[in-house]
Structure 1
Amino acid sequence: MIGPPEGVDVDRANVARMYDYWLGGAHNFAVDRAQADRIEASNHTARHAARSNRDYLRRVVHRCLADGIDQFLDLGSGVPTVGNVHEVAPAARVAYVDHEAVAVAHARQLLATVDRATITLADLVDADTVLGAPGVAGLLDFDRPVAVLAIAVLHYVPGDLTAVLAPYRDRLAPGSALAISHVTDEQPDPDLSARIRAAAEEFRHSANPVTLRSRAELAAALGGPLVEPGLVDVTDWPVARPDVVPVGMACALARS
């Protein structure tokens, strides 16, 4: 891996790099691996959750492509690793956005020879900056359908989630989509709920503490009608898979 950009804190674990570690990537540091291992000790499905979430991303991108959407705004895209949106949809336009300098540095390196994808250093809570950035406004045509992806990132965003997503929803043309996945401790299995809360407690020691939200809050933030099967565990979208262990991360695809 390349070294960290100047000024980047590598003494405190970062979720983008921990996620990369769980996915088998190389863009992480010892502090990230140690924190990720502690989280996995408190919730043994953490690595399974990261990989299941990546599988959900692939499936939701394929669904959007099948629906005729060929533009993607990936918020909180993280460290580049196997299964990026531009790899799943090589003919699509993909605008990645992340506020973590190491993730963005690696993305710039990865995308140097990719014509249809960009990376923007910005915080997704600042929608005006994101939507006005050259890598977003100069690549995506918001007069046509766009799929906004907020995959495994919103639980690291505090505050009113509906207010965070509203500026993005308001910008979308008819036929667009909004896909999310979000950890929730509102689970039918009390053991899974307890493990999720324990993992969230461990995240307090990272640069990215977790905000747990209810399914009702997530549905409200999505705004538009949900594609079947609605709000479900990432392992069960778009088809229930009772043989796969649920991970406690709810997901849904909403259409405008």
Structure 2
Amino acid sequence: MSTDAPGVTPGPVHPSDRIDTSVAHPARRYNYWLGGKDNFQADRESGDAMAERFPTIRISALENRRFLQRAVGYLAREAGIRQFLDIGTGIPTADNTHEVAQRIAPESRVVYVDNDPIVLAHARALLTSSPEGATAYIDADLRDPEKILHHPDLRRTIDLSRPVALMLVAILHFVPDSDDPYAAVRRLLDALPPGSYLAASHATHEYLPPQVAEEAKAAAKGGGPHGIINLRTLDEFTGFFAGLDVVEPGIRSVAEWRAESEPQPRPSVVEVSMYGGVARKP
């Protein structure tokens, strides 16, 4: 009998029921570049197509992940932040935000947000908090800040009257200008008190030679609805930090941002082609 028949209540939808394996998705493609196993043929084909035109894309993905870890380390250790809102979480891997933060301050509280059902299916790995702290996962989209800010799990986990670090690492370049990512970021920051922080990274073509830049932009546009990357300039990326006090060493390649303790030699800014920065809300 159909579950749509009168009097029959449909069962809960499992996250895997929403997964379209025929279409590349950023979180799964990123997982592929990082050497993970939670990806499908479409993700690998999309990832390989981009790697053909930008051969160091895997280095970029790894360096972006290291930037996240260093940024969280700075925020927890030096800035004293104990609450994190991590949007565009991606598939869990080593040293997720709460693991880095809670190693420094076990009482840290982290809310993860992503709209990929495969991330939701793995969310249990993101909820292994220390006893002193807390973690939560919200199935939502950066483009719907109201849903995020008013979600009961966020309200139970984070006190919005106390400083919060908003983590937007390798997510903003998936939001086209037509969806006004600047407005979404402003709305989120407006909800956070003074002393909060924004940590963000963003793909760019500006470090590349002109011909390579054109090829990279063509590859970034070739991934279908879930694969398009909106490469932005330094000025465009800096716009997300409007009204904030950018911390040292400023907005620069993620390969260079507080990377003194990373293994040497460092990859070049051309190989990484990703800006990163951290800023404080006054």
TM-score, with structure 1 as normaliser: 0.91
| 2:146 matched residue in structure 1 | 128
Asked whether the 8 Å contact 2:128–2:135 carries over to 1, the reply is no
Residue type of the partner of 2:39? N
Residue type of the partner of 2:192? L
1:239-254 alignment, distance < 5 Å: 239=259, 243-246=266-269, 247-254=272-279
| 1:25 matched residue in structure 2 | 36
Secondary structure of 1:150's counterpart equals strand
Whether 1:144 aligns to 2:156 is: no
Asked whether the 8 Å contact 1:15–1:206 carries over to 2, the reply is no
Q: Identity percentage over the alignment?
A: 38
Secondary structure of 1:96's counterpart equals strand
Residue type of the partner of 2:274? M
| 1:193 matched residue in structure 2 | 213
Residues 140-160 of structure 1 show CA distances to partners (whole Å, capped at 9, x for unaligned) of: 111111000000010001123
Secondary structure of 1:118's counterpart equals strand
Q: 2:141 & 2:25 partners in 1: Cα distance?
A: 15
Residues 191-233 of structure 1 show CA distances to partners (whole Å, capped at 9, x for unaligned) of: 6534532431333x35231112221121122121211121101
Q: Report the more deviating stretch, 235-244 or 26-35.
A: 235-244
* Pair 1:69–1:183, CA change in 2 (3 A): same
Question: Out of 220, 223, 239, which is 2:239 matched to?
Answer: 220
Q: Report the more deviating stretch, 79-88 or 53-62.
A: 79-88
Asked whether the 8 Å contact 1:181–1:252 carries over to 2, the reply is yes
Whether 1:82 aligns to 2:94 is: yes
Q: 2:250 & 2:274 partners in 1: Cα distance?
A: 13
Q: 2:37 & 2:110 partners in 1: Cα distance?
A: 23
Q: Point out the structure with max Rg over C-alpha.
A: 2
Q: 1:191 & 1:227 partners in 2: Cα distance?
A: 33
Secondary structure of 1:5's counterpart equals helix
Give unpaired runs (5+ residues) of structure 2: 1-13
| 1:72 matched residue in structure 2 | 84
- CA drift of 1:172 comes to 1.4
Question: Out of 129, 133, 136, which is 1:114 matched to?
Answer: 129
Asked whether the 8 Å contact 1:23–1:50 carries over to 2, the reply is yes
Question: Out of 49, 56, 67, which is 2:60 matched to?
Answer: 49
Residues 151-191 of structure 1 show CA distances to partners (whole Å, capped at 9, x for unaligned) of: 00100011233212011111111211001100112226446
